[in-house]
Structure 1
Amino acid sequence: METNEILKEASRRIFEAVKDMAGTEKAAGDFGRGAGGDISRNIDITAENTVLDYLKEINFECVVLGEECGRVELSDNPKGFIIMDAIDGSANAVRGVPFFCSSLAFATENRLSSITDGVITNLSTGQMYHSTKGNGAFLDDKQISVHKDVPLYKIVGVNTSGASQEIMKKLQPVFEHHSHTRHFGANALEMAMFAQGLMDVFIDLRDKIRIQDIAAGYIIVKEAGGLLLDSKFNSLDADLSYDTRVSFIAAANQEILDEILPRKE
């Protein structure tokens, strides 16, 4: 079975396992802090165990890098890394806000740039975004791309949760610009929607993003034709360590990025 198909099947199983949990008492609970540093909820643990059980069932030789479970070695001779945020947007999921997803990616080496496959599933609808390197990006069976025309409304995603005054000052041009800013609470799903052309720029400059949050979005955005840069406007790359935190800027093209977030000389 191709790696992309394995990620898709794992995502389908997550959807079936958690689709009735969101907004109920079953979603909550406190299982301590996961490997990523956030409190693990029951819906997180259920989703992760679903993936781990499936990978063991098919004997997929890999190292899993999970948001909650940490590093799990499923083989002495792994083919690569499964980078897993089984529930991105846990706060939304627990409260019943219908904006959360699963994010699964496969990397051959210890770098973001080695990611070959990614799948993001909207766990409120079951819709699946997926990509394999060199083959484009898709929403279910339809190929998608970033917005290529001049937008009627400029929509900019900006994650400012817990942002410092310094970061807010850096982002001031975004808020002063004649655009509509948004943040829905699940970075992976927002990256997927950006890749679909529903936003023109998506920015997170807080240096808080874990690799699990953006791994699948990384390949989907790139295959959809988007720019994906770090806070210094260089091509985004990083290792897969649990200590790694990144900032990123996704843009449909350089022109709209320069318009919304101009570089300071």
Structure 2
Amino acid sequence: MKVIEILEEAAKRVHKNVKHLAGTKESGTDHGVGAGGDISRRIDIVAEKTVLDYLREINFECTVFGEECGMVELSPNPKGFVIMDAIDGSTNAVRGLPFYCCSLAFTPEDRLGSVTDGVVMDLHNGDLYSASKGKGAYMNGKKIQVHKEKPVYFVVGVDISGISSDALPRLAPILAASNHVRHFGAVALELAIFARGLVDVFVDLRRKLRITDIAAGYLIALEAGGYVVDENYMPLDSNLSYDKRISFIAAANKETLAETMRKLGLPNNA
């Protein structure tokens, strides 16, 4: 099997195993603090176990870099890393809000920038987003791309959840200039719908995102023709570390990216 097919099958199994849990009291039971630093919920544990069990079943030679489970070596000679956020949007999943996903990515090296394959499964409705480096982005097998034309409504995604008081004023210009601001609570899925052309800009300057949150969605957004950079107008990259925190700006074209960076008072090399 191709790597992308392995990730897709793992995500489909997660969907099958957790869809009955979302919104239930059982889904939110406390299972201690995970490797990423947040409380692991029952639905997170079931989802991660599903992925790990499947990778073991097919003897996929890799090391799993998981948000809850930490580093799990599945082979003495791994061919790379599976970057796993088995439930992105755990709060939504536990409360029954219909916006949460499974995010899986593969990299042959210990780098975010080396990701070659990514899958984001919308665990509410079963939509499957996927991308392999250099081969485009897809939703349910149909090629997708970011919104290239002038939209009827210019939609800006902005994550301010838990933002620090000193970072919030930086967002004031873009918030004031945007009549249609959205945030749904699962960054991987938000990058997927950005890749699909439903959102024109997405901004997260909180310095809170982990690599597990963004690895798959980042590749899907790039392969759909989007531009995704950090606060210094550089491509996102990092070694696979639980201490690393990321901010980013995603835009559908260079002009929109340049204008967004200008409004945010950030470097603009476009």
TM (norm. structure 2) is: 0.96
Structure-1 residue corresponding to 2:204: 204
Deviation at 1:257, TM superposition (A): 2.4
| Structure 2 letter corresponding to 1:207 | R
Contact 1:173 1:260 in 2 (8 A): no
| Structure 2 letter corresponding to 1:213 | D
1:172 aligns with 2:133: no
Deviation at 1:178, TM superposition (A): 3.4
Q: Deviations over 1:18-48 (max 9, x none)?
A: 0111011221110111001110000000000
Give distance in 2, aligned partners of 1:20 and 1:178.
37
The within-5 A match list for 1:78-157 is 78-157=78-157
Deviation at 1:90, TM superposition (A): 0.3
Structure-2 residue corresponding to 1:229: 229
Contact 1:194 1:202 in 2 (8 A): yes
| Structure 2 letter corresponding to 1:161 | S
Give distance in 1, aligned partners of 2:223 and 2:257.
18
Give distance in 1, aligned partners of 2:4 and 2:13.
14
Structure-1 residue corresponding to 2:219: 219
2:197 match: secondary structure = coil
| Structure 1 letter corresponding to 2:44 | D
Give distance in 2, aligned partners of 1:117 and 1:238.
17
TM (norm. structure 1) is: 0.98
Contact 1:99 1:186 in 2 (8 A): yes
Contact 2:156 2:178 in 1 (8 A): no
1:40 aligns with 2:46: no
Give distance in 2, aligned partners of 1:144 and 1:112.
23
The within-5 A match list for 1:177-192 is 177-192=177-192
Contact 1:174 1:261 in 2 (8 A): no
| Structure 1 letter corresponding to 2:207 | D
Contact 2:92 2:99 in 1 (8 A): yes
| Structure 1 letter corresponding to 2:258 | D
Contact 1:177 1:260 in 2 (8 A): no
Give distance in 2, aligned partners of 1:145 and 1:8.
19
Deviation at 1:163, TM superposition (A): 0.8
Q: Deviations over 1:215-261 (max 9, x none)?
A: 00111011001111001222221211111111011111121123344
Contact 1:133 1:223 in 2 (8 A): yes
| Structure 1 letter corresponding to 2:244 | T
Structure-1 residue corresponding to 2:250: 250
Give distance in 1, aligned partners of 2:145 and 2:101.
20
Contact 1:187 1:213 in 2 (8 A): yes
Moved more, 226-235 or 79-88: 226-235
| Structure 1: runs of 5 or more not aligned | none
1:76 aligns with 2:76: yes
2:39 match: secondary structure = coil
| Structure 1 letter corresponding to 2:169 | K
Give distance in 1, aligned partners of 2:138 and 2:22.
26
Superposed CA RMSD in Å reads: 1.0
| Structure 2: runs of 5 or more not aligned | none
Give distance in 2, aligned partners of 1:243 and 1:260.
28
Q: Percent identity?
A: 59
Give distance in 1, aligned partners of 2:160 and 2:97.
19
